[in-house]
Amino acid sequence: MAQKRAEVRMIREIFRLHTECGYSDRRISQICGRSRPTVKAIYSAVERAGYSWPLPDSLDNADLERIVYPQKSYSRQWPVPDWNYTWKQMQRKGVTLKLLWLRYKSEHPDGYQYSQYCENFSRWCDIKKVSMHIETRAGEFTEVDYAGSTLPLTDRITGIITQVPVFVSSLGVSSYHYAEATLTMQLQDWIDSHIRMFEFYGGCTEIVRPDNPKTGITRACKYEPDLQRTYENMIRHYGGVIIPARPRKPKDKPRAEKGVQEVLRWIIVELQERQFFSLADMNEAIWEKLEIINNKPMTNKEGSRFSLFEELDKPLLKPLPATRFVFEEWKKVRVNVDYHVQIDYRYYSVPHQLRKQQLLARYTSSTVEIFNNGKRVATHFRAPKKWSYSTKVEHMPEAHAEHLQMTPEKIMNWASRVGEQASELASTLLERKEHPQQAYKAILGIMRLEKKHGAKRLEAACGAAIRLNSLRLRDLKMILETKKGHTLFDGLNKEEKDKPILHKNIRGGKKPARKTKPRNQEERESHSGNSNCHSDDK
């Protein structure tokens, strides 16, 4: 561009000397250092275009250059590729420019050669790609990502080799790197890597910028991405916020991309040939080489990444909280009819009024919290074994709670408070059953009768039931609630206990002689005579 501007100034000077000063071609050639044919060709071209000195302001340098040096027209026109299609194909994995040129040549044998194809595509990309420089404040950004390559981890016993990923992060201004190997890229390892990263830096930045992994971003979106709840709570615990990069826009986090490149070239490539039997040994080797990278002098800035971090980023980091973030998981749960929810093959109770509703559970290694519309409705300690139940009495219906709290000791304590007859009745019911719990429901029903009729009447009813040897709950209810029952236990007294009960419907005892009809005249006369004797006796 500098040579073109100088040439245009020369064109203006040659035309001025020729038109205004009237110098000869030889004189102009000596002054401007150009040959006479060149001098004549320049002012002749301007004159043919219809201009005179002074040149108008509307005639800029580009137009003047085109007048003097018109572009050459070629009779042959090469077919122009669809550069936008070429660029889109280049975004796919495994596609190269050479492969796309071969496709182009198969369709257009008389088209560009490979060098021309590459040069024209490069020019098109320079015009299309416009980058914006974003000024970053110290202590503002941390960019995180996983390196594309992995490291081999060998099992010492079986010899099986597992490829483990490498977590990488870079600070905004200093590009201070942190890296570590993790067994997986699951949520637990993703959270733990961030925690160790903050502890390595000694603080947290205002913004953490990840890519769009499923462990951190549940739904990627250019405008309103959905954040994973545990990840969001963890960053909030350390005083930061999450602003993920746009999908398929790696330039949104250039420092992390540069950090990945540095880790790949100077750490992963060198350590891939070494054999590691533990993750701790692998990370020790990574951190040794990471220290070399961070202390290496930078080419475009004075000092190293570590010196810039100490000077710029570190003083502006937010301090670490007093406690480490406790890993948590969130899950939508449905309440069963037995007012329990299942979490990790364990069952936890909630208020029985919430059965069959959908709730939200937060659980850590030690606690379980259950929420309904943002309000916490239940808290439990983590159950130790699978398929075990953790139930709180206050979550149960009243009947269930009473049944759960019943024991033989509690039953006898209640009965002794009511009276001797109630104690005898309760003791008899418990002894008659093979297992005490078989009598719990009946005794629970008797307890409820006390609330309705009072202890005094229940004690009298228990005595009546014992004397009648009728110990069923429904008989006790009849004694308390029906008129016949009142008459029965009110008329009974202790003296009547030993008297036999005579009634034609009572079974047992000697049966009366059956009367038979006389079969002949003698029997009829005998029967008549007996009747007369009885009449005379009377």
Q: Using alpha carbons, select from 307, 286, 311, 289 the residue that is nearest to residue 298.
A: 307
Whether residues 450 and 473 share a domain: the answer is yes
Give residue 148's identity as a one-letter amino acid code: G
295 and 383, same domain (yes or no) = no
Q: Residue 143: exposed, middle, or buried by beta-carbon count in 10 A (0-12, 13-18, 19+)? A: buried
In this prediction, residue 53 has a pLDDT band, given cuts at 50, 70 and 90, of confident
The verdict on 167 and 220 lying in the same domain is yes
Kindly report, residue by residue over 468-513, the tens digit of the pLDDT: 888 888 888 888 887 555 555 555 544 444 455 555 565 655 555 5
Q: Kindly state whether residues 363 and 252 are assigned to the same domain.
A: no
- The reply to whether 187 and 272 lie within a common domain is yes
Higher-confidence position of 519 and 400: 400
Reported confidence tier of residue 427, pLDDT bands at 50, 70, 90: confident
- Write down the pLDDT at residue 280: 94
Structural domains in the chain (count): 5
Q: What is the mean pLDDT of residues 50-77?
A: 76
Percent of the chain residues past pLDDT 90, beyond the cut: 38
Whether 168 shows a pLDDT value over 50: the answer reads yes
Rounded mean pLDDT of 153-157?
93
The answer on 298 and 210 residing in a single domain is yes
Count, residues in the chain = 538
Domain membership flag for residue 397: no
Q: Domain for residue 321, yes or no?
A: no
Q: What is the CATH number of the domain that holds 208?
A: 3.30.420.10
- From CA 508, how far away is CA 502, in angstroms rounded? 11
Kindly state whether residue 536 falls inside one of the protein's structural domains.
Answer: no
User: What was the pLDDT predicted at 440?
Assistant: 77
If one compares 361 and 303, the residue with the highest pLDDT of the two is: 361
**293 and 441 share one domain:** no
Is 74 contained in some domain? no
Which pLDDT does position 129 carry in this prediction?
63
Domain assignment present for residue 232? The answer is yes
Question: Is residue 497 within 8 Å of residue 463, measured between CB atoms?
Answer: no
- Tell me the average pLDDT across 42-62: 84
pLDDT of residue 502: 56
> Does residue 381 lie in a domain region?
yes
Is the pLDDT at 313 greater than 70? The verdict is yes
Is residue 88 scored above 80 in pLDDT? Answer: no
Is the model's pLDDT at 320 over the cut of 80?
yes
Pairing of strands 177-181, 151-154: unpaired
* Domain-embedded: residue 136: no
Are 388 and 470 members of one domain? no
Chain mean pLDDT for the chain: 83
**22 in any annotated domain:** yes
Residues 159 and 58 in one domain: no
Q: How confident is the model at residue 233 (pLDDT cuts 50, 70, 90)?
A: very high
Confidence of residue 363 (pLDDT cuts 50, 70, 90): very high
* 264 & 289 share domain: yes
The per-residue pLDDT for 123 is 86
Encoding tokens for residue 127? 């015009």
Judged on CB neighbours under 10 Å (0-12, 13-18, 19+), 341 is buried
Same domain, 291 and 378: no
pLDDT tens, position by position, 187-232: 999 999 999 999 999 999 999 999 899 999 999 888 889 999 999 9
Average pLDDT over residues 61-79: 73
- Domain end (from 34, 68, 102): 68
pLDDT of residue 204: 93
Q: Distance between CA atoms of 30 and 318, rounded to whole angstroms? A: 71
Let me know: does 15 contact 43? Beta carbons within 8 Å. Answer: yes
Q: What is the DSSP string of 19-88?
A: III---HHHHHHHHT--HHHHHHHHHHHHHTT--SSPPTT--HHHHHHHHSPPPP-S--PPPP-HHHHHH
Same domain, 228 and 343: no
pLDDT > 70: percent of the chain: 84
351/398: higher pLDDT: 351
At 72, the pLDDT band (50, 70, 90 cuts) reads: low
Question: What pLDDT sits at residue 519?
Answer: 56
Domain of residue 291: give its range.
141-316
* pLDDT tier, 36 (very low <50, low <70, confident <90, very high otherwise): confident
Helix (H/G/I), strand (E/B), else coil: 344: coil
